[in-house]
Amino acid sequence: MESNDGKLRKCSTCGEEKDARFFGKRKGSKDGLNKSCKECKRAVNAKYYKKNKEAISAKAKKAYEKNKGKHAEYRKRNRDRIAEYNREWRSKQREKDRSAFAGNCEKAGAGANAKNY
């Protein structure tokens, strides 16, 4: 093998020598590739997420709390419109449920009247 394409690259995390295609691209690095192989990168990311899960969700919660006031205000201002929207949604949902139920009857062969719907 004399082609440079199959050049092996040592992963700085697991120390394994792998083909360059097992490494993710990274702008700004000497050869445009990550120092760690994709597999290690994935493991590191998973670890990072696990470690920071609480911080991440705390951040999300904070953002939620920040927006909650706005939402409450919006709800208050548009109470009638939202109520109407919900009512419409519910009646639509009921219709959907009914037709699904009718479909089931037909499938089960229990509804001789199914055709009359």
Contact residues for Zn ion, defined by CB under 5 A: 11, 13-14, 37, 40
Query: Which one, 26 or 111, has the nearer CB to Zn ion?
Result: 26
For residue 19, list its beta bridge partners: 8
Closest approach of Cβ 36 to Zn ion, in Å?
5
Closest approach of Cβ 3 to Zn ion, in Å?
23
Other CB atoms within 10 Å distance of the CB of residue 6: 10
Other CB atoms within 10 Å distance of the CB of residue 37: 25
Query: Which one, 13 or 102, has the nearer CB to Zn ion?
Result: 13
Query: Which one, 10 or 94, has the nearer CB to Zn ion?
Result: 10
Name, in order, each residue with C-beta under 8 angstroms of 111's C-beta and a sequence gap of 6 or more: 102, 105
| Helix 38-77 / helix 79-108 crossing angle, nearest 10 deg | 120
Phi, psi of 81 (to 5 degrees): -65, -40
Closest approach of Cβ 14 to Zn ion, in Å?
3
Query: Which one, 7 or 98, has the nearer CB to Zn ion?
Result: 7
Closest approach of Cβ 37 to Zn ion, in Å?
4
